[in-house]
Amino acid sequence: MSSSSTLRPGLLRILSLALLAVHVLSDVTTGIPDAAPPGFEEWESPIFLPAPDVKGSGDWASAVARARTFVKGLTLPEKINVTTGVDVLGRCVGNTGTIPRLGWAGLCLEDSPLGVRFADFASAFPAAINAAATWDVDLIKARGVAMGEEHRGKGVNVALGPMTNMGRVAAGGRNWEGFGGDPFLSGAATVATIEGIQSVGVIANVKHFIGNEQEHYRGGSSAPQITSSNIDDKTLHELYLWPFAEAVHAGVGSVMCSYQHVNQTQACQNSKLINGVLKEELGFQGFIVSDWAAMINGVQPALAGLDMNMPGFVGYGVGEQNNPDPSTATNSYWGAALIDMVKNGSVPESRVDDMVTRTIAAWYKMGQDKNYPHVSFSQLTQQTYLNGEKVNEHVNVQADHYKLIRKIGAASTILLKNTKSALPLSVKSLKRIGVFGSDAGPHPLGPNICSNGQNDKGCSEGTLAMGWGSGTANFPYLIDPLAAITQHIQSINPTVVIEGVLDDYNLKAQSSVAAVSDTCLVFVNADSGEGYLTVDGNAGDRNNLTLWANGEKLIQNVAASCPNTIVVQHVVGPVLVESWIDNPNVTAVLHAGIPGQETGNAIVDVLFSDSPQATNPSGRLPYTIAKQRGDYPADILYQSNEKVPQITYTEGVSIDYKWFDLKNIEPRFEFGFGLSYTSFSYSGLQVSKSRGRREIEALHRTSTTARSSAAASSSKLSSFPHAASSTSAAVSSAPVSSASAPVVSSAPASVSVSASASASASASGNATSTASAPPAGSSPVGDVGGPAELYKTIATVSFKVKNSGKVAGNEVSQLYIGPPNSFGVTQKALRGFARTFLNPGQTKTVTIPLRLKDVSSWDVEKQKWVQSSGQLKVYIGKSSRNIELQGTLNL
Ligand SMILES: *[C@@H]1O[C@H](CO)[C@@H](O)[C@H](O)[C@H]1NC(C)=O
Ligand SMILES: *[C@@H]1O[C@H](CO)[C@@H](O)[C@H](O)[C@H]1NC(C)=O
Ligand SMILES: *[C@@H]1O[C@H](CO)[C@@H](O)[C@H](O)[C@H]1NC(C)=O
Ligand SMILES: *[C@@H]1O[C@H](CO)[C@@H](O)[C@H](O)[C@H]1NC(C)=O
Ligand SMILES: *[C@@H]1O[C@H](CO)[C@@H](O)[C@H](O)[C@H]1NC(C)=O
Ligand SMILES: *[C@@H]1O[C@H](CO)[C@@H](O)[C@H](O)[C@H]1NC(C)=O
C-alpha cells in the first residue's frame, strides 16, 4: 500500500490494523470467502475495520462504565471465559465459562422464541407468527413479559429470541419463528417482545443477523455447502435490517449472527455487517453471539466484531465433548486459541476487552448482578439427577400464563371466509356435529414425543400447535380441539351428538359422519421447522405450499356430503387453498396459525359465541396467501452443486404484498386481510404534521450531522471499496492496488446525539384512542439504533372508526404510505397500525404517529436516511388492498 504515506495519521491506525488483518487473514486457510463466482462479482462484502469499541451511549452509560471497571480487573483467561461457551453438554444450550475468583457465575443462554426450550413446568406460547397476527403491541409485549418471567424463573440470562427474519420465501422452514413479511410489523413486534423480555431483567437476543431466509444449505461449521445471501445496500436497510435497527433502538442486549454468508462472507465474520452496520451505523452497545457452531474461523470473526462464540466447540460432530474450562479448551475457534491470537498479535487484547465489556454491560444493564435466580433446570434431562448430580429443581414458572396464551391464540385467529352466517356457532342451535382430521386430536405418544424418535417436535402428529426445531418448547399439556369442543358443548347441552373422525385417510368413515352432521368442522395443517430435522421428506423448508396429511382430500370429501363445512387450518405460513376455497359447502375458514398449548380452548373461543371467553376474530394475515406458488417473488433453492450456492435477492425490497402490488398479481388473501363477525366504518381522516417543515429539516440536519462523522467513516471505509475489495483480493492472493483508493480525510469520530433532545415516540407505532398526540417516551437512548431523530414523531394521522354491526370486537386499522414515495418503487408500505376495541355502535378516534424514519428512505450514495419530499399519500385500510380513507402529507 504505497499510497499510505498520503494518508493522515488518524487513518494510519485503521489501515495498519486493516493490513494486519489482511496479513493474518491471508495466513488462515479456512473461512476466507472464495472470490465470487462469475456473474456475482459485485456481490462481495467490503472489509470494515477496526471493530468499534462500545461507547456507553444513551442509557447504556452506567452499565458500560461498570463493565469497564469489571473488565479491568480480569486476567486474560478470565476474559476468555466470558467470550467462549463450555460446549453443548452444559445445563443450558449455551453456557459461558465462569470467573470463580470473583464469584461470577457465567451466563446461561437458552432457546427459544416461544418459551424455555427443554424445561419442565414452563409454558408453550403461541409462535411469533401468531403474535404478529394479533397486530396488537400490548398483547405482544405481554407475551414477552411472560416469556421473560419464565426464562428468569429458570435462571436463564439470555433468552434466544425474538427471531425477526423476514419470510422472504413462503416455504421457509423457520418463518413461523418470526413476525411475517413486512419490516414495519416485524419491527414493532420485535420491539414489543424485547421490551417485554427485558422488562423483567432477561437479556433478549434478536436473531438471525442477517439474510437467514431458508434452511437448505444454511451452513454451520461442518456443512459442505453454505449459501451466500446477496443483498444490496438499499434492500438491506429498508427491509432486512429494519427490525434489527428497531431492536437496537429498543435497547436489545444481544444479537445473534446467522449461519450463512452475506455477499460471500460468513455472517459471523462479516466486518461490514457487524463492525460497519451493527456497531458503527446502529451504535449497538450489547454483544453479538454466533449462532450455534456458525463460526468457521477464529481470527476473522474476532476482528469483524463478533463478541461471543457459542456453544464453544468447533462444530457438531467434531469432538463435541472437550474441556469445560473455555480458557484452556482447544477444540474451539476461540477458547485457548483466542489467547494465542492475542499473544501472537493477530487479535488486539483491546478487542477481547471490548467483547467482554459489551457482554458484562448487558448483564449489568438488565440488573443481573443482583438477586438473579440460578440455573435450576437442565436441557439434558427432565429428571432430577444426572450422573448423580442434582440438575433439575423442577421450578414451576408457568404462573397464570395459560390465560394469556389462550387470549393470544384467539386474538391471532384469522377469519378468511364466512358465508351463510356459518360462524359463530352457538350450542343451542347444534344437534349433531362432526369433527374431522388428525389435526383435531391428541398426539398418540403425548405432545412431546414423536413416533419417529426425533426430538424438538420433529414430526407432525395430532394437532399442530408449534413447528419443529430449536424454536420449540415442551408442552406442559396440549388442549386439542376435539377435547375443547366436546367440553364446551357438554357444558351447555350434553345431548348434542359429537363424533370425531381423526383418520385423515378413511374417506368412508368421514363421509358417513359428514352426511348426518348439521355442522362439520374440518381440521387440517401444514408444518415446517429447522433444517437439522427432516419430517415427511421436508428438510426444514416445506416442499410444497399445500396442506399435509391428505388435507385437501379431507376437506373436499367432507364438503361433498356436508353443506356446512367449516375449515380450521393450523399452519406455519401461507397455504394454497384454490382447490377448495370457493366450494359453496365450505361455509367458513379460520386460519389459526400455531397457537401453543391452549390451542383447543382458543379455537372454541372463536368458533362459539356462547363460550365464556367468546372472541370476535380480529387476527390479520402477516403475509400474503397467493393463488399459486409461482406468484411469490422468490423460492427456496432446493438443489445446488455449488460449494457456495448464490441466492441473490433480485426482488429487492419488494417481497410479500409489495411484490403482488408491483406486479399487479391478484392474491387469494392479501397481507393484512381478516374478517370479523361485525362490521366497521371509517371517517374523518386528519393528517397533521406535528412539526413544521423547518423543524423537520432541522431534525434531519441534526440527524445527518450527528451521523456525518460516522457516515463518513462508514462510507469511507466501505467506499474504500478498493481497499475493501482489494483487501479481499489480497486474501485470495491477488495483487493489492491501492492507487485508486480514496484518501480518507477523517478518522472515525465518536458519534453522539444529544441525549437531552426530546425522546422518541414508541417504535411500535403505538396508537392511542384519543385525538391527542401520542405521549413522548421518557428514556432517551442517544444514538443507539441510529440517529435518535429518526425515531421522533413528525406527523400524526387520526381518523374515526365505528362498529357498525351488532357484535363487539376489535378492528385492526392499517396505515400505509405512498405511492408515490421515494422508496424507489411505487407500491404501498405499512407504517403504522392500531387494534381498537369497539362495542356495537361505538365510535373511537384512532391516532397513529409517523416518525421521521417512517417517511424516509435509505440513500445508498449518501449512506444515510433521507426524507421523502413533496406529497406523500397516506392510506388507512382494513388490509393492504382494502383502503377506506386516503389523504396526503406534505413534506
Ligand atoms: C453486498 O453487495 C451489494 C452489491 O454490491 C452492496 O450493495 C451491499 O452493500 C453489499 N452488502 C454487504 C453487507 O456487503
Ligand atoms: C473458566 O470457567 C470454567 C468453567 O466454569 C472454570 O472451571 C474455570 O475455573 C474458569 N477459568 C478461570 C480462569 O476463571
Ligand atoms: C400504548 O399507549 C398506551 C396509552 O399511552 C399505553 O397504556 C400502552 O402501554 C402503550 N403500549 C405500548 C406497547 O407501548
Ligand atoms: C496466531 O494464533 C492463532 C490461534 O492459534 C493461529 O490461528 C494463527 O495462525 C496465529 N497467527 C500467527 C500470525 O502466528
Ligand atoms: C405436500 O407436502 C406434504 C408434507 O410432506 C404432503 O403430505 C403432501 O402430500 C404434499 N402435497 C402434494 C400435493 O404433494
Ligand atoms: C354440497 O353438499 C351437498 C349435500 O348436502 C352435495 O349434494 C353437493 O354435491 C355438495 N357440493 C359440493 C360442491 O361438494
**pLDDT digit string, tens, across residues 622-679:** 999 999 999 999 999 999 999 999 999 999 999 999 999 999 999 999 999 999 999 9
Residue entry with cell 467483547: 355
Given a cut of 60, is residue 767 above it in pLDDT? no
What per-residue confidence (pLDDT) applies to 612? 97
Average pLDDT over residues 390-401: 98
* Most informative mutation of 145, 185, 195, 766 for ligand 3 (most atoms within 8 A of CB): 766
CA angle (882, 884, 890) in 5-degree steps: 115
Contacts of 512 (CB under 8 A, 6+ apart): none
Phi, psi of 815 (to 5 degrees): -110, 120
What per-residue confidence (pLDDT) applies to 716? 28
**Cα-to-centroid distance, 348 and ligand 4 (Å):** 12
Average pLDDT over residues 435-455: 97
Contacts of 663 (CB under 8 A, 6+ apart): none
* Most informative mutation of 83, 99, 309 for ligand 2 (most atoms within 8 A of CB): 99
538 C-beta closer than 6 A to ligand 5: yes
- Give the burial string for 429-457 (b: 16+ CB within 10 Å, else e): ebeebbbbbbbbbbbeeebbebeeebebb
Contacts of 170 (CB under 8 A, 6+ apart): 545, 573, 574, 623, 626, 629, 632, 635
- Could you tell me which of 216, 270, 280 has the C-alpha nearest to residue 245? 280
Contacts of 192 (CB under 8 A, 6+ apart): 137, 138, 140, 141, 144, 764
Amino acid at 6: T
What per-residue confidence (pLDDT) applies to 821? 55
* Most informative mutation of 332, 341, 347, 352 for ligand 4 (most atoms within 8 A of CB): 341
**Model confidence band, residue 808 (pLDDT cutoffs 50, 70, 90):** very high
- Could you tell me which of 196, 197, 94, 158 has the C-alpha nearest to residue 362? 158
What per-residue confidence (pLDDT) applies to 884? 98
What per-residue confidence (pLDDT) applies to 710? 36
pLDDT cut 70: percent of the chain above it: 85
**Model confidence band, residue 822 (pLDDT cutoffs 50, 70, 90):** low
Decide if 566 contacts 424 (C-beta within 8 A).
no
**Cα-to-centroid distance, 172 and ligand 1 (Å):** 23
**Cα-to-centroid distance, 544 and ligand 5 (Å):** 6
* Most informative mutation of 49, 209, 231 for ligand 1 (most atoms within 8 A of CB): 231
Which ligand is the nearest neighbour of the Cα of 338? 4
Residue 119 or 16, more confident: 119
What per-residue confidence (pLDDT) applies to 753? 23
- Could you tell me which of 481, 465, 459 has the C-alpha nearest to residue 549? 459
What per-residue confidence (pLDDT) applies to 385? 97
**Model confidence band, residue 516 (pLDDT cutoffs 50, 70, 90):** very high
pLDDT digits (tens, 9 = 90+) for 115-126: 999 999 999 999
Given a cut of 60, is residue 762 above it in pLDDT? no
Given a cut of 80, is residue 172 above it in pLDDT? yes
What per-residue confidence (pLDDT) applies to 316? 87
What per-residue confidence (pLDDT) applies to 417? 98
Contacts of 293 (CB under 8 A, 6+ apart): 220, 221, 222, 311, 313, 314, 315, 316
**Cα-to-centroid distance, 811 and ligand 1 (Å):** 40
pLDDT cut 90: percent of the chain above it: 81
Neighbour count for residue 29 (Cβ, 10 Å): 7
Which ligand is the nearest neighbour of the Cα of 273? 1
Residue 757 burial class via C-beta count within 10 angstroms: exposed 0-12, middle 13-18, buried 19 and up: middle
Contacts of 540 (CB under 8 A, 6+ apart): 173, 174, 215, 216, 218, 469, 528, 529, 530, 531, 532, 533, 534
Nearest CA to ligand 5 atom 7: 548
**Cα-to-centroid distance, 863 and ligand 4 (Å):** 35
Given a cut of 80, is residue 818 above it in pLDDT? yes
What per-residue confidence (pLDDT) applies to 32? 58
**Cα-to-centroid distance, 12 and ligand 4 (Å):** 23
> Of the listed 87, 291, 353, 504, which one is catalytic?
291
**Model confidence band, residue 693 (pLDDT cutoffs 50, 70, 90):** low
**Model confidence band, residue 322 (pLDDT cutoffs 50, 70, 90):** low
What per-residue confidence (pLDDT) applies to 317? 82
pLDDT digits (tens, 9 = 90+) for 21-49: 443 343 333 445 668 899 999 999 999 99
Nearest CA to ligand 3 atom 8: 138
Given a cut of 80, is residue 717 above it in pLDDT? no
C-alpha count within 13 angstroms, C-beta hemisphere, residue 350: 6
Where would I find the beta strands (DSSP E) of 138-230? 158-159, 203-209, 228-230
**Mean pLDDT of the residues in the chain:** 88
Given a cut of 60, is residue 740 above it in pLDDT? no
Cα–Cα distances in angstroms (integers) from residue 729 to residues 17, 18, 22, 51, 853, in the given order: 17, 13, 10, 21, 36
Peptide bond into 748 cis (omega under 30): no
Lowest mean pLDDT among 446-460, 724-738, 780-794: 724-738
762 C-beta closer than 6 A to ligand 3: yes
**Model confidence band, residue 87 (pLDDT cutoffs 50, 70, 90):** confident
* pTM, full prediction: 0.89
pLDDT digits (tens, 9 = 90+) for 202-227: 999 999 999 999 999 999 888 999 99
Sheet holding 829-838, edge to edge: 829-838, 809-817, 871-877, 883-890
Pairs from 708-713 (Cβ < 8 Å, separation ≥ 24) = 709/746, 709/748, 709/749, 709/750, 709/751, 710/280, 710/281, 710/748, 710/749, 710/751, 711/281, 711/862, 711/863, 711/864, 712/745, 712/746, 712/748, 712/749, 713/280, 713/744, 713/746, 713/747, 713/748, 713/749
Q: Does residue 291 carry a catalytic annotation?
A: yes
Pairs from 545-549 (Cβ < 8 Å, separation ≥ 24) = 545/170, 545/171, 545/573, 545/574, 545/575, 545/576, 545/626, 545/629, 546/575, 546/576, 547/571, 547/575, 548/460, 548/524, 549/437, 549/438, 549/439, 549/460, 549/504, 549/524, 549/525
What per-residue confidence (pLDDT) applies to 739? 30
- Could you tell me which of 803, 868, 802, 779 has the C-alpha nearest to residue 831? 868
CA distance 308 to 83: 5
Ligand 1: residues with CB < 6 A are 42-43, 45, 232-233, 262-263, 272-273
Residue 649 or 780, more confident: 649
Nearest CA to ligand 3 atom 3: 768
- CA 788 from centre of chain: 23
Average pLDDT over residues 504-532: 98
Which ligand is the nearest neighbour of the Cα of 534? 5
Ligand 2: residues with CB < 6 A are 77-78, 81, 86, 97-100, 106, 324-327
What per-residue confidence (pLDDT) applies to 820? 60
CA distance 262 to 705: 30
Decide if 51 contacts 350 (C-beta within 8 A).
no
**Cα-to-centroid distance, 586 and ligand 6 (Å):** 10
What per-residue confidence (pLDDT) applies to 867? 87
